[in-house]
């Protein structure tokens, strides 16, 4: 900046009062001409403020910086080519959202910016209450309220202009609209390519324009970077097609939607009494969805409906798959004929692979439905509202609602949830969110819940408010998810009050307009995530289950121990005093006792017996204890391991029972609930720990594992001890 | 006897597979979780591969 001379441009929508502000600043010292080559009026003027000469350029009135009209192109060229010290965006306060669209584009252009909220008297008269301090923090741009025709606020505006011109960090502190998970990575990718091949000053702006297929920008890039432009265009074309395929609309429309989402989010936080009409339909829906009183109950109701749908439609399919798995086990077992009981290969295939991996795979229909429901909520734009609704709650605990977005991703899988915390700006917010993220029930825990609910909480359908039928299982599942959210909120508060003290940073919660999800987008999202589940079952879980089968099968009982059971059998068979039915019953009991002894004698039995005393107060025996230990590798392993433990040594015949029935025989519903609670709260899976180490460091990862496991033990023990005394 | 030989081979393959999977997970090379990730198209760990 030249200390004595500043060049300032005024940009704004037509009828935003730009000319009145221009007149108020420059008075009569104006010059009117034309921009070269076009018949667009060029107005410049001069003013002096605090001894500094200000050369003011009045840019043509435009609604945006796209290249649809000659005024827009002219305004854009001035902004890109001229050496401007500060740009003042004149915003009609009574039509805030539409006017801020141009402002967000100026922010993307990385120019030193001041927002003049003009016609503030009209806005107040219409009942708008704009918290300009808050909005300024959210946007990272100074805001001055003005009334152009009265000259009100003009002196403050010029003070701010000078302060911004002197501030080297003015551009760096501005916030850009976030274009969302599907698009933002493409923009970053293209930004890097533009910076590498072409322009280092405004690579992001050029990247966005390339995705919008902006012809004027392409022409400009051809002049700037020559041969490299074809490479940029090819890459931009590829990314644009991907965006259009996933989002089901032209890229420029999607990008514009996201910008309005950014503005809408900022305004909803800082303007009360808004009667904006631009996003009329979305706003009308939002007036209910994000309502102060209705928002949370609606969020809870939608979550419940997701579980209801998952159970209602998924359970019959899962039962069918379970039946097919049983038939497959019988079929494979049948290959060995009568002599198959002692075959080690049969045991590996049937009791290890089919029972172990099968126990995980039967839940694929439920997983598909859960991910489909999540995809509908995401693609329709509701998830952003859910984060917005939770925002109020999050503020109270010192976090921003934006922290809830990684948590929502955590419902699918904790690992990408942790990665998504990179979008949070302060380390304090990131660490707090990472620490509590495992309390969001991930998809891998769903099979555990469904197994337990199916075993101990038989389906009962009842009518809610005389409107629709609900199942008790969906209610239990909903309860478990809510317990996780409540614990996460409590612990976030604890961390923010102790280890991670500090002010919450301002963020804009993007509220993109509601969209009708495309079938292709939904199918892609659902299938990608379901495939991950199936792939995991077929790779790492298969490998672990085979190892667990070996640990559950060896070492075998020694000859003396086997002889004890053989003698018992001989005595029963020789006993002529009993009837055939009683003999069969006694033989069955001896078989079960031998099976139990074999398991206890095996490596897994020994490990289980060693750790079981520590978990006995929670109501868990050695079998559950080992399965919980196995769940550290991946949560689904709990289900696979129970499948293996309860099938090793058993023959898959007509009498074979599904795993749920076996569990029902051995444990009470209280123990079932304790298993769900422990799995929800206890240490996360190994991958989560590894990612936490990478993203936050060893110290925080150790703290995460420790506090979660201790809390799980304490909570489950309390529930079990109190519950067993009451029941 | 041949059954034991097959089982031992499968077991060794499973142990090797489990160790390899863990190695990929712990070193950030596994892409198992990418389908949920909002930054899957451009994350550092994907590009490292």
| Contact between B28 and A409 using a beta-carbon 8 Å cutoff | no
Burial of A519 from C-beta contacts in 10 A (0-12 / 13-18 / 19+) = exposed
A-chain residues near B12 (CB < 8 A): none
The confidence score (pLDDT) of residue B42 equals 44
Query: Which residues of chain B are within 8 Å of residue A544 when distances are taken between CB atoms?
Result: 14, 18
At a CB cut-off of 8 Å and minimum separation 6, what does A640 contact?
A356, A357, A359, A360, A541, A544, A545, A548, A630
pLDDT in tens, A397-408: 777 767 777 888
Task: Enumerate residues 6+ apart whose C-beta is below 8 A from B21.
Answer: A539, A540, A543, B30
Alpha helix (H) residue ranges in A2-95 = 18-26, 70-81
CA distances from A345 to A336, A352, A590, B1, B9 (A): 10, 10, 25, 10, 11
Gap between the Cα atoms of A244 and A552, Å rounded: 51
| Helix residue spans in A154-228 (DSSP H) | 154-166, 184-197, 203-211, 215-225
Closest residue to B14, CB basis, from A344, A415, A546: A546
Does the predicted model carry a pTM greater than 0.95?
Answer: no
Show residues of chain A in contact with B41, CB under 8 Å: 185-186, 189
Q: Is the peptide bond before A491 cis (omega within 30 degrees of 0)?
A: no
Q: What CA–CA distances, in Å, run from A566 to A27, A562, A590, A592?
A: 111, 6, 9, 13
d(CA A340, CA A360): 25
Asked if ipTM goes beyond 0.85, one says: no
Q: How far apart are CA A335 and CA B5, in angstroms?
A: 19
pLDDT of residue A42: 67
Judge contact between A32 and A58, C-beta under 8 A.
no
What is the pLDDT at residue A579?
Answer: 76
Centre a 10 Å sphere on the Cβ of residue A36 and count the other Cβ atoms it contains: 9
Interchain contact B30–A (C-beta under 8 A) = yes
C-alpha neighbours within 13 Å on the C-beta side of residue A26: 24
CB-nearest partner of B38 from A181, A528, A532: A181
Tens-digit pLDDT profile for residues A488-509: 989 988 998 899 887 766 666 6
Compute the average pLDDT of residues A68-87.
Answer: 81
Q: Who's near A387: CB < 8 A, 6+ residues apart?
A: A401, A402, A404, A405, A408, A509
DSSP assignments along A431-458, one per residue: HHHHHHGGGSPPGGGHHHHHHHHHHHS-
Give the span between the Cα atoms of A586 and B10, in whole angstroms. 37
Alpha-carbon gap, residue A349 to A704, rounded angstroms: 38
The answer to whether the beta carbons of residues A407 and A424 sit under 8 Å apart is no
Q: Which residues of B touch A409 (CB under 8 A)?
A: 36-38
Give the residue with greater pLDDT, A50 vs A647.
A50
The CB-side HSE value for A22 (13 A sphere, CA atoms) comes to 28
Candidates B22, B38, B39, B46, partner chain A, best to mutate (most A CBs within 10 A): B38
Q: What is the pLDDT of residue A274?
A: 47
Nearest to A686 among B10, B25, B36 (CB): B25
Kindly state the tokens that stand for A543.
């490998």
Between CA A363 and CA A644 the distance in angstroms is: 16
Q: Which residues pair with A113 in a beta bridge?
A: A87
Residue A660, pLDDT score:
85
Q: Say whether B17 and A420 touch across the interface (CB within 8 A).
A: no
pLDDT band at A218 (very low <50, low <70, confident <90, very high): confident
Tell me the per-residue pLDDT of A651-676, one tens digit each, with 9 for 90 and over: 545 455 678 888 998 899 999 999 99
Residue with tokens 């609704």: A389
* A573 sits in which H/E element: helix A559-574
Which residues does A contribute to its contact with B (CB < 8 Å)? 180-182, 184-186, 188-189, 343-345, 348, 409, 412-413, 415-417, 419-420, 422-423, 528-529, 531-532, 535-536, 539-540, 542-544, 546-547, 550, 633, 686-687, 690-691, 694
A32 Cα to chain B: minimum distance (Å): 49
Q: Which residues of A touch B25 (CB under 8 A)?
A: 686-687, 690
Instruction: Give the integer Cα–Cα distance in Å for A305 and A372.
Output: 13
Give the one of A413, A536, A546 whose C-beta lies nearest to B36's C-beta: A413
Q: Give B-chain residues touching A189 at CB under 8 angstroms.
A: 41-42
Q: Measuring CA to CA, how many Å separate A205 from each of A110, A168, A192, A195?
A: 8, 20, 12, 11
Q: Which residues of A touch B48 (CB under 8 A)?
A: none
Partners of A45 in beta bridges: A30, A56
**Residue A344 CB neighbour total at 10 angstroms:** 15
Query: What tens digit of pLDDT does each residue of B33-48 get?
Result: 666 665 554 444 443 3
pLDDT category of residue A469 using cuts at 50, 70 and 90: confident
Average pLDDT of every residue of chain A: 84
B38 interfaces chain A, CB cutoff of 8 Å: yes
Q: Which residue has the higher pLDDT, A618 or A464?
A: A618
- Residue B39 to residue A409, Cβ atoms within 8 A: no
Separation CA A554–CA A601 (nearest Å): 8
Interchain pair B11, A546: CB under 8 A: yes
Q: And the tokens for A685?
A: 């899976």
Facing residue for A420 by CB, picked from B6, B30, B38:
B38
């Amino acid at each position: 900046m030249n200390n004595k001379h500043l060049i300032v441009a005024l940009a704004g929508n037509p009828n935003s009062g730009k000319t009145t502000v221009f007149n108020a600043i420059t008075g009569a010292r104006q010059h009117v001409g034309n921009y070269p080559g076009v018949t667009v009026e060029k107005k410049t003027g001069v003013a002096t403020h605090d001894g500094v000469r200000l050369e003011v350029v009045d840019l043509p009135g435009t609604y945006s910086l796209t290249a649809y009209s000659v005024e827009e192109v002219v305004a854009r060229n001035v902004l890109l080519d001229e050496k401007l010290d500060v740009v003042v965006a004149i915003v009609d306060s009574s039509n805030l959202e539409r006017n801020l669209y141009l402002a967000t584009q100026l922010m993307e252009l990385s120019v030193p910016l001041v927002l003049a909220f003009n016609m503030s008297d009209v806005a107040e008269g219409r009942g708008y209450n704009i918290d300009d301090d808050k909005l300024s923090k959210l946007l990272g741009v100074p805001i001055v309220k003005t009334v152009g025709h009265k000259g009100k606020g003009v002196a403050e505006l010029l003070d701010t202009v000078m302060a911004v011109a002197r501030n080297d960090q003015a551009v760096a502190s501005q916030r850009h609209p976030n274009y969302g998970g599907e698009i933002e990575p493409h923009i970053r990718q293209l930004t890097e390519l533009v910076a590498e091949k072409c322009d280092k000053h405004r690579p992001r702006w050029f990247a966005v324009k390339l995705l919008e297929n902006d012809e004027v920008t392409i022409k400009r890039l051809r002049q700037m970077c020559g041969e490299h432009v074809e490479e940029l265009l090819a890459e931009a074309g590829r990314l644009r097609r991907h965006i259009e395929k996933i989002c089901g609309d032209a890229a420029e429309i999607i990008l514009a939607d996201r910008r309005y989402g950014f503005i809408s989010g900022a305004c909803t936080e800082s303007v009360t009494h808004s009667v904006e009409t631009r996003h009329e339909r979305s706003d009308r829906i939002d007036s209910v969805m994000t309502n102060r009183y209705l928002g949370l109950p609606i969020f809870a109701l939608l979550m419940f409906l997701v579980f209801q749908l998952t159970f209602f439609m998924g359970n019959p399919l899962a039962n069918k798959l379970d039946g097919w798995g049983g038939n497959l086990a019988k079929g494979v077992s049948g290959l060995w004929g009568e002599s198959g009981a002692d075959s080690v290969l049969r045991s590996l295939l049937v009791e290890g692979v089919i029972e172990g991996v099968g126990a995980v795979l039967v839940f694929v229909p439920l997983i598909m439905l859960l991910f489909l429901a999540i995809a509908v909520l995401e693609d329709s734009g509701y998830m952003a509202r859910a984060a917005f609704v939770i925002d109020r709650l999050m503020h109270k605990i010192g976090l921003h609602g934006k922290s809830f977005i990684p948590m929502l991703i955590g419902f699918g899988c904790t690992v990408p949830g942790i990665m998504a915390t990179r979008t949070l700006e302060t380390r304090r917010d990131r660490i707090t969110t990472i620490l509590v993220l495992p309390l969001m029930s991930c998809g891998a825990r769903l099979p555990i819940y469904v197994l337990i609910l199916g075993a101990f909480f038989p389906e009962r359908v009842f009518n809610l408010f005389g409107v629709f039928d609900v199942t008790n299982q969906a209610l239990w599942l909903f309860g478990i998810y809510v317990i996780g959210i409540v614990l996460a909120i409590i612990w976030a508060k604890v961390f923010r009050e102790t280890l991670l003290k500090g002010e919450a940073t301002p963020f804009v919660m993007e509220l993109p307009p509601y969209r009708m999800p495309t079938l292709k987008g939904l199918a892609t999202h659902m299938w990608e995530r379901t495939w991950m589940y199936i792939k995991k079952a077929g790779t790492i879980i298969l490998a672990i289950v085979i190892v667990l089968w070996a640990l559950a099968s060896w070492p075998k009982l020694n000859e003396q121990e086997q002889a004890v059971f053989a003698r018992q059998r001989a005595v029963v068979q020789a006993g002529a005093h009993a009837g055939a039915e009683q003999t069969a019953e006694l033989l069955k009991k001896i078989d079960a006792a031998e099976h139990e002894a074999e398991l206890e004698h095996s490596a897994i039995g020994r490990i289980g017996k060693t750790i079981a005393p520590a978990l006995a107060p929670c109501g868990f025996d050695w079998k559950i204890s080992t399965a919980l230990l196995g769940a550290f590798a991946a949560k689904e392993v709990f289900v696979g391991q129970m499948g293996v433990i309860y099938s090793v040594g058993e023959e898959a015949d007509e009498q074979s029972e599904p795993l749920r029935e076996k569990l029902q025989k051995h444990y009470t519903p209280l123990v079932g609930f304790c298993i769900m609670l422990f799995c929800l709260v206890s240490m996360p899976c190994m991958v989560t720990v590894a990612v936490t180490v990478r993203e936050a460091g060893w110290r925080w990862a150790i703290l995460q594992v420790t506090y979660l496991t201790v809390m799980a033990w304490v909570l489950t023990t309390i529930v079990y001890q109190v519950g067993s005394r009451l029941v | 006897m041949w059954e034991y030989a097959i089982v031992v081979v499968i077991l060794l393959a499973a142990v090797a597979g489990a160790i390899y999977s863990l190695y990929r997970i712990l070193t950030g090379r596994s892409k198992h979780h990418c389908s949920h990730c909002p930054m899957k198209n451009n994350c550092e760990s994907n590009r490292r591969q």
